[in-house]
Amino acid sequence: MDYQIFLSAAALSDLSIGAWGSCTDEDPEAGARKANGLLDQVASLSCRPERGRRVPEFHWLDLREIHHRSSRIVYRVNLADKSIEIVRCLPHVAKPPLPEIPSPSEDSLS
């Protein structure tokens, strides 16, 4: 059975900021393509959530990440509930500042 996926408020905000930042006068649809590509990658986690690598810089053992083009999708897997919480959708940079990661107890949006 596939895992259910939830997006945190921070991940939704990241997605929105990234999409708007990708729009240009020459290509106003670029943001939508970027957001759709990220959401496709998020949806693909429902079948194989373990495929992402652990994220060492956050020092949380339950965080994993996958990459899509210039973005990092940081997520947490709950084996008991068979759910995945997408906690952040970050731009991929060589040495990122550590953003705030919502704790597992904070509300998630689906």
The mean per-residue pLDDT over the stretch 82-98 comes to: 77
Please report whether residue 86 resides in a domain. Answer: yes
The mean per-residue pLDDT over the stretch 7-17 comes to: 89
Cα separation of 51 and 73, whole Å? 12
What three-state secondary structure class fits 29?
coil
Residue 99, pLDDT score: 62
- For the whole model, what pTM was predicted? 0.76
Element (H, E) at 65: strand 63-68
Cα separation of 63 and 84, whole Å? 10
Please report whether residue 55 resides in a domain. Answer: yes
CATH number of 14's domain:
3.30.2310.20
Please report whether residue 101 resides in a domain. Answer: no
Please report whether residue 45 resides in a domain. Answer: yes
The larger pLDDT score, comparing residue 57 to residue 106, is at 57
Residue 37, pLDDT score: 86
Please report whether residue 61 resides in a domain. Answer: yes
- Structural domain for 68, as ranges: 4-94
Tell me the per-residue pLDDT of 45-61, one tens digit each, with 9 for 90 and over.
999 999 999 987 777 77
What is the share, in percent, of the chain residues with pLDDT greater than 90? 36
Cβ contact 102:7 at 8 Å:
no
The mean per-residue pLDDT over the stretch 93-98 comes to: 56
Cα separation of 82 and 46, whole Å? 9
Q: Residue 93 — pLDDT band, cuts 50, 70, 90?
A: low
Counted domains in the chain: 1
